[in-house]
Structure 1
């Protein structure tokens, strides 16, 4: 064997040994960053069936994605006799990776509806179809493409004003690779050109899928995925700040609290309202019942009135409930039920001096609902059905 081959062998063995040691270290220290998503030609992305692992980015929970690709227990496509099925459409708030599954608002809601006999002798079965990063466009497409297979009797749209309005705009969301609808002479036209993007094609490749599956077994691949996502998040955040679209919290936009006037935000709102109404029409055409539930952001329900007042003053608005008023008016105009949780959650937060968003491991008052936030939200939604 030549000296160069010997040196190459030493380098190779040393590298493999180093990687093995890193893998053992990550295992011993309980590191987990599961690969939860795959690309989808209809919705842009979806949860990966069978994926599981600990999520500790915000809060902590062991995540298991069922074989149909939803964060929920398995549900048969065939509805059991004497069952009233409720489908929850939503984004990361409904996906709720931050808390154990049994503490999510949709899981607690099912227990409450059955305890109050909301549907008489019929058993309530609440099914979660929330996926992180979804806007209303993707939720409509998910309903059409996958959710109707389960035959829901009630469809609940869990709407997050803080990012759903932006996510429905190709301009405001900085052309993230996902499907969009655009208004054209009073109609919504689907733009699914994301399927032609290089990033989509790369992530649809067999190699990318193989790496995703291999990450279930190798922590070092999960660590590399974490680093890659961190870099992308920092780059996106930096770009949003340079474009003036970043909000108080990463992933949310402060502009939604302002009444838009002839801006891109007004167009985003109009597309959003059209999508909400189209979703209502889709549900009614199937003989099901429709309910829009508007969720909250951390600053809207922050228990410290001084912090809220400072934010309101800096933003130059009278309060943080413009989205809720607009959604209520839309419901009145289009004749569908709307529950706006933010004002009610604020009352609870102030009366109990409770943080409903955030975690001690990250930052209280920011981010997604914690377990108390999910619990109180489920109670407020439950009143709509139990009263």
Structure 2
């Protein structure tokens, strides 16, 4: 009996050593080859934002055929290192948004923020653009970014980049696929409250517990990513109901219903909340002595055949709805506005280049950078005139 137990323990130990060696070898392969897009984690849970990029961490990404790698700066944003104080005569612009601004599909120097900055400085202007982009950020989270961090850098202009797809959906806990985030509410008197009760959930606790392992292991990070993707896929399937296509889901039950004559009430409410939060951002920015601009991103309707897919679901669909509606809102509220839908479509038709495969590719970033540079220059010139 004693002999059998000893043999058993030896076998268990040998097996444990074998598994350990295998896992170490697998970890080495994943780190060096990035097989299956594996990489160590470079984000961390945040008790106010839900999560944030981890300051000083190396990042590596291959998304939508593009590649990016570098180091998150010491303030926790995907940009070069910053100085709190502006240089003499520098016009500082903070660009705040989601994954389109974070732009992990391209190298940092190819992002539209860097493109716009380069164009302006090539003209002899002293302009600094700062990238406050974080994947999946909503207008609520962007308000918090600006309140907690952006205004500390004393920007002259704050640009909020709006993407209707997830900016509208993720404002509402009943519509979003990810509830580990803050939600904005307003009471009967119009007072803003930020609900951060996600910090009390089991999901947030689990995320916080696993995160150090994700940062230490490409294997653990890969497993967590695969799990989240599966979870998201099941969530989307559950919310899709009886629709037969992605186009039907977006137009009949999703945010694109707003661009038709039959808007879904839940999305109308979430969109109205976005506008209310944009006004809160405007007040916050102007209180800090800066100008505010709203930039609306194009959706994937550049090609006529894609637009026709949506029109087949509902012939009242208007691809320019958000540019027009947000443009009207901005005009009424005294907000500078940069629409991109028509400019991107005109470019695509003239050049027949794929610039929006999902997020911007390098050509898309070049175009967005050019348009943003022109808009910044206009605001800067007007501000100079007003100051005289």
CA distance in 1, matches of 2:362, 2:120: 19
CA distance in 1, matches of 2:295, 2:248: 21
Identify unmatched segments of 5+ residues in structure 2. 379-388
Q: 1:116 aligns with which of 95, 100, 123?
A: 123
2:131 is matched with which residue?
128
Q: Quick check: which has more Rg, 1 or 2? A: 2
Cα deviation for residue 57 of structure 1 reads: 3.1
CA distance in 1, matches of 2:143, 2:26: 43
Cα deviation for residue 156 of structure 1 reads: 0.3
Rate the CA distance shift 1:27–1:285 in 2: closer, same or farther, 3 A.
closer
- The answer to whether the 8 A contact 2:247-2:313 is kept is no
Q: 1:383 aligns with which of 364, 368, 374?
A: 374
1:272 is matched with which residue?
274
Question: Is residue 2:306 matched to residue 1:296?
Answer: no
Alignment of 1:250-261 (within 5 A): 253-258=255-260, 261=263
CA distance in 2, matches of 1:128, 1:348: 25
- The answer to whether the 8 A contact 1:94-1:130 is kept is yes
2:51 is matched with which residue?
45
Superposed CA RMSD: 2.4
Cα deviation for residue 256 of structure 1 reads: 4.3
Rate the CA distance shift 1:29–1:190 in 2: closer, same or farther, 3 A.
closer
Equivalent residue pairs, number: 367
1:164 is matched with which residue?
167
Give a deviation string over 1:162-213, Cα, whole Å, max 9, x none: 22111222222156211111233252332222122111122234xx343133
Cα deviation for residue 52 of structure 1 reads: 1.8
CA distance in 2, matches of 1:346, 1:182: 36
Q: Moved runs in structure 1, 4+ residues, more than 4 A?
A: 243-253, 259-262
- The answer to whether the 8 A contact 2:92-2:128 is kept is yes
SS in 2 for 1:357: coil
CA distance in 2, matches of 1:104, 1:341: 16
2:10 is matched with which residue?
6
Question: Is residue 2:213 matched to residue 1:231?
Answer: no
SS in 1 for 2:63: coil
CA distance in 2, matches of 1:296, 1:17: 49
- The answer to whether the 8 A contact 1:293-1:340 is kept is yes
CA distance in 2, matches of 1:99, 1:246: 30
CA distance in 2, matches of 1:18, 1:168: 44
Under a length normalisation based on structure 2, what TM-score does the superposition of the two structures give? 0.87
1:16 is matched with which residue?
20
SS in 2 for 1:56: strand
- The answer to whether the 8 A contact 1:162-1:256 is kept is no
1:363 is matched with which residue?
none
- The answer to whether the 8 A contact 1:247-1:253 is kept is no
Give a deviation string over 1:293-325, Cα, whole Å, max 9, x none: 00112x2223xx233223322243342121111
- The answer to whether the 8 A contact 1:182-1:191 is kept is yes
Tell which deviates more after alignment, 11-20 or 151-160: 11-20
Q: 2:196 aligns with which of 172, 192, 196?
A: 192
Structure in which a larger fraction of residues adopt helix: 2
SS in 2 for 1:329: helix
SS in 1 for 2:241: helix
Q: 1:201 aligns with which of 200, 205, 209?
A: 205
CA distance in 2, matches of 1:245, 1:64: 42
CA distance in 2, matches of 1:248, 1:320: 13
Q: 1:155 aligns with which of 150, 154, 158?
A: 158
Q: 1:372 aligns with which of 363, 366, 374?
A: 363
- The answer to whether the 8 A contact 2:121-2:127 is kept is yes
Question: Is residue 2:89 matched to residue 1:89?
Answer: no
